[in-house]
Structure 1
C-alpha cells in the first residue's frame, strides 16, 4: 500500500507524536483520527446507529445489528446489540500497532471478554479456532472470499494476558463507525490487520482459516505478532 508524500510526512510526524504518547495518549489518538482517513477493504456504504442498534445502508435499507455465533457449537446463537451491551463490560487500555510501522499508545477500549462471549454457547470438543466475519463486501474477491475475515485460536482469545477483547466502545463512547462499529476485535500483541472491524459473525472451527488480508497479500502471514522492539511490555507466551 504505497504512501503519498503527504502521508509519508504525516507518518514521520506521528512517530514524533507517539514518543510522547504516554503523557498525551488522547491527543495522539486524535491526531491519527484527523490525519488519516480510515482505509478499509469493504466497499459500499453503511452506518451504524448505536442508540437504535441498527445498521443503515446507502441504498436506504436498514436492519438490526446482530452477532451470530455458530459453527462447532451445540446450538448457534444470535445476540442483538442490546444483548451484547447487557453482558459484563470490561474496560482496558492497550496499544495499537499498525503493520505500516506506527503505533498509538494507551487506547481506551471497552467491550466483552471472549470468556464471557463464548460462555453464551457450548463449543464442541473439536472447536479450536474462531473465524470472524465482517459486514459488507470487499472490492476484491480474495480466493473466493468476498468479505473481510480473520481467525484466532480459542486459547489465545481466552487468555486475558494477551488482551483480546470484543470491543464495542472507544474512549467511553460507542465505537465509531470508522473505528469498526458495531464491533471489532482488539488484539494488542498482533499487528492491526488482525484487528477485524464490523464483526457480525463468529464461526467456531477445528482448523485455522487464513484471513482476507493474508489471502490477498501472502507476504503477510496468518500469525502476525508485533515485533518485540515495538512493544512496551514483553509479549505473554502463547502456543
Structure 2
C-alpha cells in the first residue's frame, strides 16, 4: 500500500527521539493519572487502575513537526475513549488537553485536541510497540514510559504527550504547551499547520523559535 507523505515531510524507518525537558523516571508509588475539568467529579487513577482498563493493538503513522514521518508502527495501549467512560462530562465538552510530566511537574506539558477526533483505536495511551525491524518492547523512558499518548495521524506528534498524567475536559479550545508558544491550534500535517498565524494568536502567545515534538 502506497503511503502519502504530508507536505514538507520525509520518511524515516527509525523512531527519532525529541523531547522537551528532563526524562521522567517512573515511580509507580507516586504516579497518578487525573481526569478533571468540565466533569462532575475529578477521577484519580493509580497505575494499576490504568493498566486494568481495556486495551487494543493498533498500527499507526506518525508525523513530527520537525519534518520526519514514520509509517506503520504498531502500539498496544488503552484507547482514549476508555478514560472518557470514567468521567461524568458536563454539557458542551468539545475539547481536551492531555497532560504529561515536564521537569518534575506532572501537569507541566499539555496539548489541546478536539474530543470528537479521539474516539477511535488510533487515539491511544501506549506502553509498548513494534515495527518491521523491532519486536514487541516497552516504550523507552525517552519515548514516554510508562504511558504516552499517540494521536491520530491527522495531528502532528507534538499533540502526543509523553509521560502522560491526565486529561482535562474543556468546553472551549484552550492552547497547550507548544500552542502557547506559537504552534498551530489544530496541527494537521496534511494541511501543514505547523505554526499559527501571528495575527490570530490570543493574548499571551509567545514566538515559536524552534520545532519540537514530544
Q: Report the TM-score when normalising by structure 1.
A: 0.66
Identify which of 66, 80, 103 aligns with 2:69.
103
In the alignment, does 2:141 pair up with 1:180?
no
| 1:215 Cα deviation after fit | 1.6
Residues of 1 paired with 2:165 and 2:40: CA distance? 19
Deviation string, structure 1 residues 180-220 (Cα, Å, up to 9, x no partner): 1222221222111111111112111111111211222x1x2
In the alignment, does 2:117 pair up with 1:156?
yes
* Structure having greater relative contact order (Cα 8 Å, sep ≥ 6): 2
| 1:228 Cα deviation after fit | 6.5
| 1:72 Cα deviation after fit | 1.2
Residues of 1 paired with 2:126 and 2:155: CA distance? 15
Residues of 1 paired with 2:174 and 2:137: CA distance? 32
Identify which of 170, 174, 189 aligns with 1:226.
189
Cα RMSD after superposing both structures: 2.4
> Where do 4+ consecutive residues of structure 1 move more than 4 Å?
none
| 1:90 Cα deviation after fit | 0.6
Q: For the Cα contact (< 8 Å) 1:150–1:209, is it kept in 2?
A: no
Aligned to 1:79: 45
Aligned to 1:227, the other structure's residue is in SS state helix
In the alignment, does 2:113 pair up with 1:134?
no
Aligned to 1:208: 173
Aligned to 1:198: 163
Alpha carbons of structure 1 residues 169 and 155: separation in structure 2 relative to 1, 3 Å: same
Deviation string, structure 1 residues 50-86 (Cα, Å, up to 9, x no partner): xxxx26xxxxxxx431101111111211111111111
Where structure 2 has 5 or more consecutive residues not aligned to the other structure, the ranges are: 1-8, 131-135, 193-214
Residues of 2 paired with 1:176 and 1:183: CA distance? 10
Q: For the Cα contact (< 8 Å) 2:20–2:102, is it kept in 1?
A: no
Aligned to 2:126: 167
Residues of 1 paired with 2:25 and 2:77: CA distance? 20
Structure 1 or 2, whichever has the larger Rg, is 1
| 1:137 Cα deviation after fit | 3.2
Give the length in aligned residue pairs: 176
Q: For the Cα contact (< 8 Å) 1:42–1:147, is it kept in 2?
A: no
Alpha carbons of structure 1 residues 228 and 222: separation in structure 2 relative to 1, 3 Å: closer
